[in-house]
Chains A and B, each alone.
Chain A
Amino acid sequence: MTNNLTRRDWLIGGSALAGTMLVSKMAAAQTVPAANLNPTPENPIRAGFNENVYGHSLKAKKVMVKAAETAHLYDFFGQRVLNKVISEMENLPGDHIAIENGSTPFLEKAAFACAIKQGKVLTSNPTYSSTPGTAKQLGLEVIAVPVDEDMGIDLEAMRAAMTDEVKLVYLCNPNNPIPSIIEKNALREFCIEMSKRALVLIDEAYYEYVDNPDFASMKDLVTDYPNIIICRTASKIHGFAGVRIGFAFAHPDTLRLITGPFNLSLSNVAVAGAIESYQDIEYQNFIKQKNRESMDILENMFEELGVRYVKSNSNFAFFDAGRPSTEVAEALKERGILSGRPFPPFTNWVRMSTVKPEEMQYVVDVYKQLFA
Chain B
Amino acid sequence: MTTNLTRRQWLAGTTTAAASSLLLSGVKASAQTFMAPNVNPTAENPIRAHLNENTYGQSLKARKAIADAADDAHKYAFEDIFKLIGLMAKLQDIPKEYVGIGAGSTEFLEKAAVFNALDGGDLLLPTPTYGDIGRFSRALGSNLIEVPVGDDMAINLEAMRRAMTKNVKLIYLCNPNNPIPTIIEKNALKEFCNEFSPQATILIDEAYFEYVDNPNYESMIGLVKENKNIIVTRTASKIHAFAGTRIGVCFAHPDIIKRMFSLFANTLNLSAMRGAYASYQDFEYQNFLKQKNKECQKIIYKMLDDMGLEYKESNANFLFFNAGRPSSEVAETMKKHHILTGREFKPFTNWVRLSLSKPEEMQLFADIYKREFG
Contact = CB atoms under 8 A, between A and B. Distances in A.
Given A244-B103, A265-B246, A55 B73 contact: yes
Contacts of B70: 61, 64-65
A261 interface: yes
Nearest to A56: B74
B317 interface: no
A176 to B, nearest CB: 14
A267 B58 CA distance: 14
A142 interface: no
Interface in B267-293: 267-272
Given A65-B70, A115-B118, A267 B110 contact: no
B367 interface: no
Given A72-B241, A101-B103, A112-B118, A134 B263 contact: yes
A108 B73 contact: no
B139 interface: yes
Contacts of B242: 71-72
Given A74-B51, A267-B269, A267-B272, A242 B136 contact: no
A240 interface: yes
A205 to B, nearest CB: 12
A301 B237 CA distance: 50
Contact of B263 (A100, A133, A244): A133
B67 interface: yes
B74 A52 contact: yes
Given A265-B103, A265-B107, A243 B140 contact: no
Contacts of A285: none
Contact of B132 (A74, A239, A260): A260
Interface residues of B, number: 54
Nearest to B270: A242
A241 B106 contact: no
Interface string B325-352: 0000000000000000000000000000
B263 A265 contact: no
B9 interface: no
A134 B262 contact: yes
A161 interface: no
A108 B244 contact: no
Contacts of A138: 118, 262
Interface in B233-277: 237, 241-246, 258-259, 262-263, 266-272
Interface string B134-167: 0110011100000000000000000000000000
Given A65-B70, A101-B103, A244 B136 contact: no
A54 B74 CA distance: 8
B104 A265 contact: yes
Interface in B188-204: none
Interface in A124-144: 129-130, 133-134, 137-138
Interface residues on chain A, size class = 35 or more
B48 A242 contact: no
A49 interface: yes
B114 interface: yes
Contact of B54 (A52, A72, A75, A116): A72
Contacts of B100: none
A137 B261 CA distance: 10
B299 interface: no
A72 B57 contact: yes
A69 B241 CA distance: 11
Given A68-B63, A73-B243, A260-B106, A242 B267 contact: no
**Taking each of B106, B246, B268, which has the highest tally of chain A beta carbons within 10 Å of its own beta carbon?**
B246
A108 B115 CA distance: 12
Contacts of A108: 262
A270 interface: yes
A260 B131 CA distance: 12
Contact of A261 (B103, B135, B237, B243): B135
Contacts of A270: 269
Contact of A242 (B57, B75, B106, B141): B75
A302 to B, nearest CB: 26
B321 to A, nearest CB: 22
Contacts of A269: 66, 244-245, 269, 271
A146 interface: no
Given A68-B66, A265-B103, A243 B58 contact: no
Contacts of A101: 103, 246, 267-269
B267 A68 contact: no
B117 interface: yes
Interface string A235-254: 10001111110000000000
B196 to A, nearest CB: 24
A104 interface: yes
B75 A256 contact: no
Contact of A267 (B53, B54, B63, B103): B103
A111 to B, nearest CB: 8
A51 to B, nearest CB: 6
Given A55-B74, A56-B73, A68-B63, A242 B132 contact: no
A33 B54 CA distance: 35
A51 B74 contact: yes
A91 interface: no
A264 B75 contact: no
A56 B135 CA distance: 36
Contact of B114 (A49, A53, A54, A112): A112
A102 B55 contact: no
A355 B241 CA distance: 36
B305 interface: no
Interface in A48-100: 49, 51-56, 61, 64-65, 68-75, 100
Contacts of B55: 72-73
Contacts of A33: 71
B71 A265 contact: no
B82 interface: no
A49 B270 CA distance: 15
A71 B263 contact: no
A105 interface: yes
B110 A74 contact: no
Interface string B71-103: 111111100000000000000000000000011
Given A242-B271, A264-B132, A268-B245, A102 B266 contact: yes
Interface of A: 33, 46, 49, 51-56, 61, 64-65, 68-75, 100-102, 104-105, 108-109, 112, 115-116, 129-130, 133-134, 137-138, 235, 239-244, 256, 260-261, 264-270
Given A73-B55, A129-B263, 13 more contacts: A51-B74, A72-B56, A73-B51, A73-B53, A101-B246, A116-B117, A116-B140, A137-B262, A243-B270, A243-B271, A260-B136, A265-B246, A267-B246
